[in-house]
Chains A and B, each alone.
Chain A
Amino acid sequence: MGKLKKLVCFVLMLGLAALLLSGCGGSSDSSGKIKIGLNYELSGDNATYGQDCVDGILMAFEEINKAGGLLGKQIEPIKMDNKSDSAEAISVATRLITQDKVVAILGPATSGPFMAQIPIATQHKVPVMSASTTAEYVTMDENGNVKEYAFRICFKDSFQGTLMANFALEKLNATKAVIVFDNTNDYSLGLKKSFTETFTSKGGTIVAEEAFVTKETDFNAILTRIKGLEFDVIFLPGYYQEAGPFIKQARALEINHPILGADGFDSADLVALAGASALNDIYFSNHYSSLDKDPKVLEFIENFKKKAGKDPNAFHALGYDLGYFVADAIKRANSDNAEKIKDALAATSEFKGVTGTVKIDEKHDAIKSAVIIELQNGEQVSATKFSP
């Protein structure tokens, strides 16, 4: 009996091993499809950003495929979840490259996981690109070494911080600013740094700096303290989850100064969180605005609404652009060879997307314009474009 059991076990194990092996060897590139990997945050803390980007990308691919595909082939997106985790992003990237044999990887949406997968991609010579990683050093390290296989199509946080500082000084005639920032978030710290540098170097003063931690909901104590100070604007580099309650509580305490922010404010939830009546004199930099009258933007908004039944936000738009961005490079490379796609990506000189025109510079960063959106009563009332 014991012998029989062992034998059965052995046979079963052999079978399993065979299954695994066949799984590995099965994906060569003869299917006539161009495989593109999507390594995104579909669950976990940053799931909303990942999901929104993916929605945009898939919409772009669908349109391209409907119009006949690329180089006569259809695009096959392979979507995987990195759980908003850097370690997981690496294993997803490894799988996409070695097992699914993708020619390029799009995503992740946030800087940490995106940077984590770059060494793997470089090792296998597969280009990776993101639409929304705005951290300072992503495609280039701090010593100025460009990461050959990494690209992005969005501007950097320092660009936004500088832009908002100039805006406060010149358009709002502000000389005294209060900064309220998220002390546990690189995005927030980066914006704070560049805002402070520009604002103070041009004669402004930072009257106070107040810190909070991610997921804070009660800002009354900070606000009460700020209320006693004399200042012109509040700069709040952070995400809408905290900006919403902050603005609501600020207006309830009759702090009616302009509040400035960056692309983290962009979400339909901001209105739900803060309440429309509190959203007055809010200014934030963003990748695109739905007020844009460019026919390309209008068409995108209309198609997106038809498909998803809601207004697109910046992440949808960025994802959509990223889909077309990689397609554009494949077209120019006239090949689905990863190496050639990489060269074509680096040579991008004028890619026209919904979120503006992208030129990839020698650091693999995107040179593109930003908009500053003004909210009054919860509605976007103006959007002004600023070029770098």
Chain B
Amino acid sequence: MEQLLQQLVNGLSLGSIYALISLGYTMVYGIIRLINFAHGDIYMIGAYVGYVCMRHLKLGFFESLIISMVFCALLGILIEKIAYKPLRNSARITALITAIGVSLFLEYSTMAVATATVRTYPADVLINKTFSPIKGVIVNIQQVYIFIITIALMLLLQFIVHKTRIGKAMRAVSADKDAARMMGINVDNTISYTFAIGSALAGAAGVLVGIYYNTINPLMGMLPGLKAFVAAVFGGIGIIPGAFIGGLTIGIIETMVSGYVSSLYKDAVAFAMLILILLVKPSGLLGKNIREKV
């Protein structure tokens, strides 16, 4: 029982990271129907920006987190303007392949600048203490931080999307781009905002991972990026709470698989799930079956 609870704690902290990344995936998909494969690499860049802030500029945790989020937001806008915007009216596969190109570009540019060496965050940026809420279950304060920050950011996102003008514009563009434009919504700006917000969340995830696992490298975004994609599909791609639930579920399932079966199977199980969901409920856990407009 203790072991199960401990694994649940492990799974929740891993899942929170996936959730943060997959929120951005889902937002971008929801608005321009693009699976942004470069998203995982923005998360990696976020981790590196946090690293520079803490290691070289000697900033604290929250300053670094915010700088990293702002930097990633700008990077997200830049990528959208340079790589995706010119392709907005071309076939969807073109944009998808461009996304893969951007992803490789980010990975190997980082490797060229920062080298492939594993980097470590300074040890004392965030309290690293453990406590025991139940006997035999150990929780790290950093795990609590990750969980709380993820929930806070998701609530903030929900608020932006449903209660602000920007959010209203986003929903309008997502529903029908052309109609939205006719209503006087600036579609380009709205898409930029979406990229900015999604990328900022990925940046936050990068910093949190950097602190929690204390190891970052230029290719760290690949696998979590794919897992976050699975999480987004699991929850219903384009739906924000879906991404959150999907992320946590993937995290917990992975932990349970490595805890009770074998850690060699955890990636396989995550991707097997993707296939299964696509077969059984293609629109995801929270997705509605909307008939395609003809």
Residues of A within 8 A of B (CB): 43-45, 47-48, 183, 210-213, 215-218, 220-222, 224-225, 227-228, 241, 244-245, 248, 252-254, 269, 272-273, 275-276
**A221 engages B115 (CB within 8 Å):** no
**B116 engages A254 (CB within 8 Å):** no
What are 19 A-B residue pairs whose CB atoms fall within 8 Å in the complex? A43-B116, A183-B264, A210-B262, A210-B263, A212-B264, A220-B13, A221-B11, A221-B256, A221-B266, A224-B7, A225-B258, A228-B3, A244-B120, A245-B215, A252-B130, A252-B138, A253-B6, A269-B118, A273-B120
**A273 engages B118 (CB within 8 Å):** yes
Within 8 A of A (CB), among B136-177: 138, 140
Q: How far does the Cβ of B219 sit from chain A's closest Cβ, in whole Å?
A: 7
Within 8 A of A (CB), among B191-229: 209, 213-215, 217, 219-220
Size category, B interface: 35 or more
Residues of B within 8 A of A (CB): 3, 6-7, 10-11, 13-14, 115-118, 120, 123, 128, 130, 138, 140, 209, 213-215, 217, 219-220, 254-256, 258-260, 262-264, 266-267
**B3 engages A224 (CB within 8 Å):** yes
Which residues on the B side are within 8 Å of A225 (C-beta)?
Answer: 3, 258-260
Q: How far does the Cβ of A227 sit from chain B's closest Cβ, in whole Å?
A: 7
Which residues on the B side are within 8 Å of A241 (C-beta)?
Answer: 118, 215
Q: How far does the Cβ of B11 sit from chain A's closest Cβ, in whole Å?
A: 8
Which residues on the A side are within 8 Å of B260 (C-beta)?
Answer: 225
Q: How far does the Cβ of A256 sit from chain B's closest Cβ, in whole Å?
A: 12
Quick one: given A244-B214, A252-B130, A275-B128, are A221 and B10 in contact (CB under 8 Å)?
A: yes
Q: How far does the Cβ of A204 sit from chain B's closest Cβ, in whole Å?
A: 23
**B10 engages A273 (CB within 8 Å):** no
**Please, how many angstroms separate the alpha-carbon atoms of A216 and B120 in the complex?**
15
**A217 engages B215 (CB within 8 Å):** yes
**A248 engages B214 (CB within 8 Å):** yes
Quick one: given A221-B7, A252-B130, are A215 and B263 in contact (CB under 8 Å)?
A: no
**Please, how many angstroms separate the alpha-carbon atoms of A252 and B142 in the complex?**
11
**A224 engages B215 (CB within 8 Å):** no
**B214 engages A218 (CB within 8 Å):** no
**B117 engages A48 (CB within 8 Å):** yes
**A212 engages B140 (CB within 8 Å):** no
